[in-house]
Amino acid sequence: MKAIGIRTGASEPELLEVPRPDPESGQALVRTLRVGVDGTDREVIEGGHGGFPEGEDYLVLGHEAVGVVEDPNGTRFEAGDVVVPTVRRPPAGGENGYFARGEADMAPPEKTVERGIDGAHGFMSEYFLSEERFLIEAPPELAPRGFLIEPISITEKALELAYAARSTFEWEPDTAAVLGNGSLGLLTVAMLAREMDVYCLGRRDRPDPTIDFIEAQGGTYVDSRKTPVEQIPEEYEPVDLVYEATGYAKHAITSLYALAPNGVAALLGIPGDWEFEIDGGRFQREFVMENKAMVGSVNSGPEQFRAATGTLADLPADALDDLVTRVVDYRKFEGAFEQSDDVIKTAVQFGER
Ligand code: NAP
Ligand code: BGC
Ligand code: ZN
C-alpha cells in the first residue's frame, strides 16, 4: 500500500510503498479517509521535533486522522464504523503506569512514542492498525471533518488544565488572547469565540485569510509587530485567558503580562532552545501578587477526544469550511506540508466512506 513518509536524511516527504499491515489480536484494521497537517508535521519534516521508529529508515507521517474500520478483528467495532485514533502508544520497552492508568498524555517523552511524530509510524497510509483502546468512535456525519478531532482535543485538554488551575475560586473568563494564527490557534479562536471576547495575535499584513477568519469569528486581530504581547493590556484590555500556539518562547513568557489578575496562560508551543533576558523579579512578583497561573499542555487522551467530537459537531460549518482551505489527494500530496499565506489548514485525502 502507499504511504506518505520521510526517509532518514531526506528533507522532503515522499510517496512510499509499504506493507499493508495485518491486525493482531486486540487490533483493528482501519481504512484511512483523511489526515490533517499541522505545524508539528512541518517541525518533524525539518528535523526539529520527533524521530524515526527504532531500527527503521523512514517515518510514515500524520497524526490527525479519521478512518473507517475495515476489519474489526474481534474488537468492539463493526466494519464501516468511523474512528479517530489517539496519538500516543507505549514505547519499545512496553507498557508503563501512564498507559495502564489511561493517562498516556501525561507521560514524559521517554515513556511514550507518538504516531507520525516520534518513534512510531503515523496514519498517512491507505490503511493503519490500532489497538482497540486507542480508537475513538465518531458519528458518521463527522467523517469528512473528523481529522479535526485530534487538534480540537489538544485545546480541550489545555482548557481543562487551565480551568483546573482556577478551580479554587469563581472564575468565569470573559476575554482571551490566542497567540498564533496557525491552524491550532485559529481552531481555538473558533472554539473560544462562542463564549468570550477573543484577540488573536499574528504577524501578517492584510489582506490575509487568517485575519479574515479571526474577524469572521467576531475576534480582534492583534499584530505582534505593532503590539507585543505584554502591551495587549494597554492597547486593548487585560485578558483572563491566554492560549499560546506560536512556539515563539518570548510570547509564552510575556503572556503573564497580558493576563488580568487571577488569569491563566496555557502554553502549547514547542520551541527549540532560545536564551533571552527577562526581569525575573517582575515576573515572579506579578505571578504571585496577582494570583496568576501558567500551565503547559501536550497531547490529549480519549476523554478529550470524546469531548472534541461534541465540539466539532457544534462548530459552525462555515467556520470549518473557511479553516480547511485545502484537501489534496494522497497521490498528489506535494506541497501539502508547505505553509503559505493563502493556506490555513490542509488535509490529505486517502479514501471515501
Ligand atoms: P503553525 O501552523 O506553525 O502556526 C504557528 C503560528 O504562529 C503561525 O501562524 C505563525 O505566523 C505564528 N507566529 C509564530 N511566531 C510569531 C510571532 N512572533 N508573532 C506572531 N505570530 C507568530 O503551527 P500550529 O499547528 O498552529 O501549532 C502551533 C504550535 O503549537 C506549534 O509550535 C506546534 O508545535 C504546537 N503544538 C503543540 C501541541 C501540544 O500538544 N502542545 C499540539 C499541536 C501543536 P506565520 O504563519 O505568519 O509565520
Ligand atoms: C500533536 C500531539 C503531540 C504534540 C507533541 C502535536 O502536534 O497534536 O498529539 O503530543 O504535537 O509532539
Ligand atoms: Zn498536532
Structural domains of the chain in order of their starting residue, each with its CATH number = 2-138+316-349 (3.90.180.10), 153-296 (3.40.50.720)
Ligand 1 atom index nearest CA of 157? 40
Ligand 1 atom index nearest CA of 40? 34
Ligand 2 pocket test: pick from 64, 87, 115, 152 the residue with the most ligand atoms within 8 Å of its Cβ: 87
Atom 9 (ligand 2) nearest CA: 299
Ligand 2 atom index nearest CA of 298? 10
Ligand nearest to the CA of 268: 1
Q: Give the pairing type, strands 27-36 and 64-71.
A: antiparallel
Q: What is the DSSP code string of 170-230?
A: -----EEEEE--SHHHHHHHHHHTTTSEEEEEE--PSS-HHHHHHHHTT-EEEETTTS-GG
- How far are the Cα atoms of 32, 36, 182, 325, 334 from residue 346, in angstroms, in the given order? 16, 6, 11, 6, 12
Q: How many residues does the chain have?
A: 353
> Do residues 77 and 135 make contact, with C-beta atoms less than 8 angstroms apart?
yes
Q: With a 6 A CB cut-off, is 114 part of the ligand 2 pocket?
A: yes
- How far are the Cα atoms of 108, 161, 218, 222, 274 from residue 196, in angstroms, in the given order? 33, 18, 10, 16, 33
List residues bridging with 131 in a β-sheet.
27
How is residue 266 written as a grid cell? 496555557
How is residue 235 written as a grid cell? 492597547
- How far are the Cα atoms of 7, 27, 84 from residue 74, in angstroms, in the given order? 34, 8, 18
Structure confidence at residue 93 (pLDDT): 86
Expressed in angstroms and rounded, the spacing between residue 238 Cα and the centre of ligand 2 is 29
Q: How far apart are CA 188 and CA 162, in angstroms?
A: 14
Ligand 2 atom index nearest CA of 299? 10
Task: Kindly provide the residue ranges of all beta strands, DSSP E only, lying in 194-341, ordered along the sequence.
Answer: 197-202, 220-223, 239-244, 259-267, 293-296, 324-329
Ligand 1 pocket test: pick from 106, 268, 323 the residue with the most ligand atoms within 8 Å of its Cβ: 268
Ligand 1 pocket test: pick from 46, 246, 276, 297 the residue with the most ligand atoms within 8 Å of its Cβ: 246
Using DSSP's 3-state secondary structure scheme, residue 128 falls into strand
Q: Smallest Cα–Cα separation from 163: which of 267, 269, 265? A: 265
Residues with CB under 6 A from ligand 1: 38-40, 43, 154, 180-185, 201-204, 224, 245-248, 268-270, 297-299
Cell 510514515 belongs to residue: 60
Ion ligand 3, residues whose Cβ is below 5 A away: 38, 40
Q: Smallest Cα–Cα separation from 35: which of 329, 344, 353? A: 329
List residues bridging with 114 in a β-sheet.
88, 119
Using DSSP's 3-state secondary structure scheme, residue 165 falls into helix
Atom 11 (ligand 2) nearest CA: 40
Expressed in angstroms and rounded, the spacing between residue 40 Cα and the centre of ligand 2 is 7
Expressed in angstroms and rounded, the spacing between residue 247 Cα and the centre of ligand 1 is 5
Ligand 2 pocket test: pick from 38, 46, 63 the residue with the most ligand atoms within 8 Å of its Cβ: 63
Ligand nearest to the CA of 109: 2
Residue by residue, pLDDT tens for the chain (353 residues) are 999 999 999 999 999 999 999 999 999 999 999 999 999 999 999 999 999 999 999 999 999 999 999 999 999 999 999 999 999 999 998 999 999 999 999 999 999 999 999 999 999 999 999 999 999 999 999 999 999 999 999 999 999 999 999 999 999 999 999 999 999 999 999 999 999 999 999 999 999 999 999 999 999 999 999 999 999 999 999 999 999 999 999 999 999 999 999 999 999 999 999 999 999 999 999 999 999 999 999 999 999 999 999 999 999 999 999 999 999 999 999 999 998 889 999 999 999 99
Q: Give the pairing type, strands 293-296 and 2-7.
A: unpaired
Q: Smallest Cα–Cα separation from 67: which of 37, 28, 99? A: 28
Q: Smallest Cα–Cα separation from 308: which of 184, 196, 185, 155? A: 155
Ligand nearest to the CA of 88: 2
Atom 4 (ligand 2) nearest CA: 299
